[in-house]
Amino acid sequence: MGLLVVFVGGSRRDSGTGGASCLRGRRPDGGPGSGGAAIEQTAVHERAGMLETTLPEFLALAGEPVEFRALIRQVTFAAKRVAAVLRVAGLQGLLGATGEVNVQGETVQRLDEYANEMFVNNLLRSPAISDLVSEEMREGMHLAQHNKGEFALLFDPIDGSSNLDVNLSLGSIFAVRRPQDVLADGHGQIAAGYVMYGPATVCVLAMPRHGVNFFTLDPSIGEFLFTRGPVRMPDHGSAYGANEANAGGWSPKVAAFVEWLRGPGRHSTRYSGALVGDFHRILVKGGVYLYPADREHAQGKLRLLYEAAPLAFIAACAGGRAVDEANDIMDIVPTAIHQRTSLIIGSRREIDRLAPPRG
Ligand code: F6P
């Protein structure tokens, strides 16, 4: 089914979601690529806040093109299936490893495979899609023979899979790009989001014109309902999350930054071992998540295209920022679909201290 595809980076059209942008033309520091200020409430948010508004209704109210709405419908359909299976996986014996090792050299869990199939099978049905890139697939899938779709979807079907066997929060992360922008920098993203499978299943969707919005799954009707937005990440926070067992291999700059975070009266530590949940906390409450390069992960551990860049896009749309220590994540031009990166993401005040914006 999968065909090897060579992605050509570079060209960039205006966002399919179009119009005024939280990412363009509103950069508080004026520096290249550092993202923008959080978007203010629009008439769409006001309307959606007054009624019980489903995610598809929100996108229609927001005037999003029908192809984009179809794409998000397929993504959230897959996520609903994943959420449903996660609820019963322990009861139905679906936990545990497959015995395979993925392209990243990591143990594949049965639910990693299941979630990947859910996403791929649903997305194959979407005429809006022409390319798929998944953490679980060695090569990108080029569907142009079947679909003449205008979007590429890059996704991590289950992020934080070490939490699977212990019934803690997990997530699916996705980014929408134009097919010709798969290997463009983070500004080549049209929209990005994640679904967090926690006590509630929440879809977080960032769109340039409408900011970052939360939609909570009501399992009794099987719909994601608008619950909050546009979300603004606090300018600073009181917690940071990192795997401190790796601290001995961090750069002196990162080590000094974390030392500062831990200074008197500053931040406490919150780390669950699953990026989506840890990032979600920071999006709501402010603070920093970091997985910098270390001895074992010389290029960093996280993947640029379907982990770091989508979360950097969401952070920028909410007024936050993400760097790899020196560069804004949004400015990094990938050279490979499974490229890794350091990621330090969160509130502006903290991130600007580590990596002052270039003027
Ligand atoms: O995708 C990788 C991931 O599972 C993230 O969700 C998480 O933040 C990180 O790795 C955890 O890594 P570690 O177990 O090394 O702390």
| pLDDT digits 0-9 by tens, 133-160 | 999 898 888 876 656 789 999 999 999 9
Q: Whose CA is nearest to atom 8 of ligand 1?
A: 275
* pLDDT < 70 regions, the chain: 1-36, 144-147, 359
162 lines ligand 1 (CB under 6 A): yes
Task: Please report, for the chain, how many H helices and E strands are present, in that order.
Answer: 8, 17
Instruction: Ligand 1, residue 156: give the atom nearest the CA.
Output: 1
pLDDT of residue 332: 97
| Per-residue pLDDT, 1 | 34
- Residue 16, pLDDT score: 44
Distance between CA atoms of residues 126 and 143, nearest Å: 10
55 closest CA partner among 228, 229, 224, 193: 224
- Output DSSP code: residue 181: G
Residue nearest to atom 14 of ligand 1 (CA): 273
Query: Cα-Cα-Cα-Cα dihedral of 265, 235, 244, 266, to 10°?
Result: 0
Q: Does ligand 1 have an atom closer than 6 angstroms to the CB of 160?
A: yes
Ligand 1 binding pocket includes 28 (Cβ within 6 Å): no
Q: Which fold has domain 43-228?
A: Fructose-1,6-Bisphosphatase; Chain A, domain 1 (3.30.540)
**pLDDT value, residue 290:** 98
The pLDDT score that the predictor gives to residue 100 is 82
Nearest CA to ligand 1 atom 15: 243
- CA 154/CA 151 separation, integer angstroms: 10
Query: Rounded to the nearest whole angstrom, what is the distance from the C-alpha of residue 165 to the centroid of ligand 1?
Result: 14
What is residue 323's predicted lDDT score, i.e. its pLDDT?
98
Ligand 1 touching residue 159 (CB < 6 A): yes
State the maximum Cα–Cα separation within the chain, in Å, rounded to a whole number.
Answer: 59
pLDDT for 24 equals 53
* Alpha carbon nearest to ligand 1 atom 13, residue: 273
Ligand 1 atom 4: residue of nearest CA: 160
Q: Which of 106, 169, 291 has most ligand 1 atoms within 8 Å of CB, for mutation?
A: 291
Nearest CA to ligand 1 atom 11: 273
* CA 310 to centroid of ligand 1, rounded, Å: 16
For a substitution probing ligand 1, which of 108, 162, 306 has the most ligand atoms within 8 Å of its CB? 162
Domain 239-354 is of which CATH architecture?
3-Layer(aba) Sandwich (3.40)
Q: Indicate the top mutation candidate among 102, 302, 338 to test ligand 1's pocket, ranked by most ligand atoms within 8 A of CB.
A: 302
> What single letter denotes the amino acid at residue 154?
L
Which contiguous run of DSSP H or E holds residue 328?
A: none
Taking the CA of residue 278 as reference, the ligand 1 atom at the shortest distance is 8
Distance from residue 160's CA to the centre of ligand 1 (Å):
6
Separation of alpha carbons 123 and 118, rounded Å: 8
Structure confidence at residue 127 (pLDDT): 85
For residue 335, what are its two tokens?
């050279």
Beta bridge partners of 229: none
What is the pLDDT, as a whole number, of residue 90? 79
pTM: 0.90
Q: Is 275 in the pocket of ligand 1 (CB under 6 A)?
A: yes
Nearest atom within ligand 1 for CA of residue 241: 8
State which ligand 1 atom lies nearest to the alpha carbon of 274. Answer: 6
The first and second tokens of residue 168, run together, are 């803690």
**CATH 3.30.540.10 occupies which residues in the chain?**
43-228
Domain with CATH 3.40.190.80 in the chain: 239-354
Edge-to-edge strand ranges of the sheet holding 141-142: 141-142, 129-134, 151-159, 170-177, 189-197, 201-207, 211-218, 223-228
> Which segments within 137-270 are labelled E, that is strand?
141-142, 151-159, 170-177, 189-197, 201-207, 211-218, 223-228, 239-241, 268-269
- What's the Rg (C-alpha) of the chain? 19
Helices marked H in the chain = 43-50, 55-61, 66-88, 110-124, 252-261, 275-285, 309-317, 348-354
Q: Give me ligand 1 centre to Cα 273, in Å.
A: 5
